[in-house]
Structure 1
Amino acid sequence: MQLLEAKLSVLIVDDHPSFRAVAQMLLETDGFSVVGTASDGESGVAATLLLAPDVVLLDVELPDIDGFEVAARLRRAGSDAAIVLASSRDGADFGTLVAESGARGFVSKAELTGDAIRALLA
């Protein structure tokens, strides 16, 4: 008999309220614990440092600073959260920026599932 895995905590950083709500519902249904949301990069950095989630689901295109800069700030601040970048655009549109950002990887918003995030964390 396998022991149940502890729920991974997630912070969702996205400027679209409807996406935050859908992502939260989807991830909670898939066994994650959403500990917070943020609507821009500055708030995302602050919330990550305050809440110390296991995973940050981070929109690439935010109104103030982009997700790549958020990822860089989190790394410089010593956060060990696994960063998963997300966008409605294709990951190939960002070239090497995803790999260079220190993120665990990229998931298209249309293909977001708990399994997709788990695969990036494995």
Structure 2
Amino acid sequence: MKLLIVDDHPSFRSAARLLLEHEGFDVVGEAEDGVSGLAATTALSPDVVLLDINLPDLDGFDVASRICIDHAAPKVVLTSSRDPREFGPLVGRSGANGFIPKGELSAARICALL
């Protein structure tokens, strides 16, 4: 499966890429903010977008909502280092397939949400 990583921290993008490629994903690109994440989603046509909630321009919920409008859109998995209880029903309302804390990221966790 082709995956796009959208996160404003280069160290997380790098670590996530290494982990997920090792576990079988084809990481087709990375983006550092919401606007470039939306552009990369269109340009790269990933199957899955791993999307940080806290981005410098648009928040991940807004980006997920924009991606998920199209029924042929990629699956979206939100991530954050913050406690998932802080987000309440926002994950479900965004259209994302679910949420994985950054410290628990794995290909198996992503696949379980798809």
Aligned to 2:103: 110
- Cα drift, residue 73 of structure 1: 1.3
The answer to whether structure 1 residue 58 and structure 2 residue 51 are counterparts is yes
1:47: which partner in 2?
40
Kindly indicate whether the alpha-carbon contact (under 8 Å) linking 1:87 and 1:107 is maintained by their aligned counterparts in 2: yes
**Equivalent residues, number:** 114
Aligned-partner Cα distance in 2 for 1:78–1:63: 27
User: Aligned-pair distance for 1:76?
Assistant: 3.2
Distance in 2, Cα, partners of 1:77 & 1:119: 22
- 47-56 or 77-86, larger mean C-alpha shift: 77-86
Alpha-carbon distance between aligned partners in 2 of 1:79 and 1:12, rounded to the nearest angstrom: 19
Which is worse superposed, 95-104 or 73-82? 73-82
CA positional deviation for 1:72: 1.2
CA distance in 2, matches of 1:111, 1:12: 16
TM score, norm. by length of structure 1: 0.90
Matched, 1:76 2:49: no
1:75 shift after superposition: 2.4
C-alpha distance in structure 1 between counterparts of 2:72 and 2:18, whole Å: 25
Distance 1:57 1:48 in 2: 11
Pairwise CA distance, 1:106: 0.1
Q: Percent identity?
A: 58
Runs of 4+ displaced beyond 2 Å: 75-79
TM-score, scaled relative to structure 2? 0.96
- Give the root-mean-square deviation of aligned CA atoms: 1.0
